Chain A
Amino acid sequence: MGQRLERTPSLTDATAAAGRATSSRPLRGVNRAFRRHRALGLGTVLTPPVAWMLVVYVGSLVVLVFSAFFALDGVTQKPTTEFTTDNLTDAVTSASALRLLAWTVATAVAVTAVCVALALPTGFFVAKIAPRWIRRGLMVSIMLPLWAGYMVKTYAWRTMVAPAGGNRFAAEGRGGGGFLASVLGWTPGYSRLSVVIALAYLWFPYMMLPIYAGLDRLPVSLLDASGDLGARPWRTFRSVIVPILLPSIAAGSIFTFSLSLGDYLLPRIVVDGKQRVMFGEFINSTLGAPNQPLAAAYTLFPVVIIVVYLIAMKRAGAFENL
């Protein structure tokens, strides 16, 4: 403690201090009030953040949900105050919307799978095999690209997968395609596969961090015991490592799944705007139609998916491993 108190305060001092209700120090009264009424302290620290989140965020979300139930004026194309469930019915029965939603969920699952498939062996190597002195350096190197910037990385992947020729922009094709096309001789091009790779690239560190933390905590003796009992490495991986790591994987998937599900800018850029690849694009074009109430109805799909997903992950113990 920086400031030294001159003498030890005694019970007498405390009583005396209590007697001087309004002392020369105005803070003293405030301090005492906080000490006596715990709820006052709680109210003071809790009110500003909760009020902000409720007024700015939850308020806006609630209004958005309600706006899905307003009819659209056919002439002015503005929402009216007339109540209707047509938007919701339209959204739920739209085959193209549901198909795109299924593709979007599949993409988010694929991204999560790619991240897990890369993070498990990499995490195991860094946490258990690499010499102790380079572990920290390796982890920092793996986490740093996270901060290179969303647009920068999106742009980088467009550069990577650009096919030789056949581009919308002559400038991009000059000299024969992007890095993958000229170095590997193969590129996924502007396709959904590229979207999966680029999204996995973007969110990989979010999966890596909890998996590494989980493996770091895993006692080596447990793996040895499994081996002593005759388990082969694959069996140890399946029956020991994976069950222990499940909460960590769940924690990582909150990011890889949710962020991929909601993304539409990176997909649009990586596929060169040729096709609608993600559901967000659908919401965006409906909003620009302009049909705000129908767009609001469409936003309910990802919102419901994410909320159900978050609750499931909370059950799996993901929130303690974030």
Chain B
Amino acid sequence: MRTSRLSKAALGAITGFTLLFLYVPLFVVARLSFTRANSIAWPPDGWTTTWWREAWRTDGPREALVNSIWVALAATAIALVLGTLAAFALQRYDFFGRNAISFLMVLPIALPGIVTGIALQSTFSRRIDLGLFELRVGFGFHSLVIAHATFCVVVAYNNVIARLRRSSPNLLDASADLGAHGSQTFRHVTFPLVRSALVAGGILAFALSFDEIVVTTFTAGSGYQTLPLWIFANFARPTSPAVVNVVATFVMVVSIPLAWLAQRLGDA
């Protein structure tokens, strides 16, 4: 392809700018977590690990981290089961309302978080009369898991259905022709086929849940804090910008390699 040297250079420069745009803010936060001043001012004032030790000693961020991990694990487990089932249904069967269901799956992440948040909050706080007994979901760990699982389904669904679309339906026929019955085909053909897509979808769902804040503010209730909620509650406090820098850097350092891993597995 003929592209003039000038336009090549210009496009390269824009790409360089994009990379700077993407990485400078992250670098700034990481660097500020080692500054001596308890501040977000630039340039940073020397080097110290005081704030890292301080953050480690404080109970708040550690408790919030553990909470976030448990919520994300539980929500991911539910989302994987539901998303995989939906992907199989939509890939294998043709039925009335097929398009409506793919729309339904995207809705929880396409609609504003505040809409999802308010809707779930009012449902969870309501007493629902089921005839024999009254049900009230309430707030805490379980309400967060239900809310997070709902918007994580789409990630698992997308990954699995993409894999199923790429794999040949002949494999199933071949397996059946060789005399395998349904569960054998699932165990030896279908499951190995989607295994890495499940892992990739699982990591993405975990990251999505771990990161979510808007729906979380509405469904966590007062006593339960996740890591994003902790950051939100603390960066505005004049006393702790330095500790927030540390927690933010920690989140980056942990989640970026995880995402890289998910991408590798998804491509496999």
Chain A residues with a Cβ under 8 A of chain B = 1-3, 5, 8-9, 13, 27-28, 30-31, 34-35, 38, 41-42, 45-46, 48-50, 52-54, 56-61, 63-64, 67, 118, 121-122, 124-126, 128-130, 138, 140-153, 155-160, 162, 169-179, 181-183, 201, 204, 220, 223-224, 227, 233, 254, 258, 261-265, 269, 273, 280, 283-284, 287, 292, 295-296, 299, 302-303, 306, 310, 314, 319, 322
Contacts and interface: CB of A to CB of B under 8 A. Distances in A.
B12 interface: yes
B28 A174 contact: no
B15 A126 contact: yes
B150 A56 contact: yes
B238 A171 contact: yes
8 tightest Cβ-Cβ pairs between the two chains A and B:
A262-B112, A175-B41, A147-B259, A9-B179, A60-B119, A156-B25, A49-B86, A46-B89
B26 A156 contact: yes
30 contacts: A2-B187, A5-B180, A27-B181, A42-B93, A45-B88, A50-B104, A54-B104, A56-B120, A57-B150, A60-B123, A64-B115, A122-B18, A124-B11, A128-B1, A128-B3, A142-B18, A144-B259, A145-B22, A145-B23, A145-B256, A147-B211, A149-B211, A151-B227, A156-B29, A169-B241, A261-B112, A265-B214, A269-B235, A299-B112, A299-B115
A128 B107 CA distance: 34
Contact of A49 (B118, B153, B239): B153
A142 to B, nearest CB: 7
Contacts of B66: none
Interface stretch (B32-40, B52-60, B194-202): B32-40
Given A60-B123, A64-B118, A283-B115, 6 more contacts: A46-B89, A49-B85, A60-B119, A151-B251, A176-B41, A233-B7
Contacts of B2: 224, 227
A1 B175 contact: yes
B265 interface: no
Label chain B's interface by main secondary structure.
helix
Contact of B179 (A5, A130, A176, A182): A5
A204 B115 CA distance: 23
A269 B228 CA distance: 13
B37 to A, nearest CB: 6
Contact of A258 (B23, B110, B153, B263): B110
Contacts of A182: 41-43
A31 B182 contact: yes
B164 interface: no
A21 B89 CA distance: 28
Contact of A287 (B37, B81, B104, B118): B118
B102 A149 contact: no
A177 B112 contact: no
B122 interface: yes
B37 A52 contact: no
Interface string B123-143: 100100000000000000000
A148 B105 contact: no
B119 A61 contact: yes
B21 A201 contact: yes
B138 to A, nearest CB: 15
B60 to A, nearest CB: 14
Contacts of B255: 147-149
A31 B183 contact: yes
Contacts of A48: 81-82, 85
A158 B41 CA distance: 11
Contact of B119 (A63, A126, A128): A63
Contact of A45 (B14, B22, B89, B239): B89
A148 B37 contact: no
Contacts of A314: 103
Contact of B104 (A53, A144, A201, A227): A53
B248 interface: yes
Interface string B200-223: 000000010011111001000000
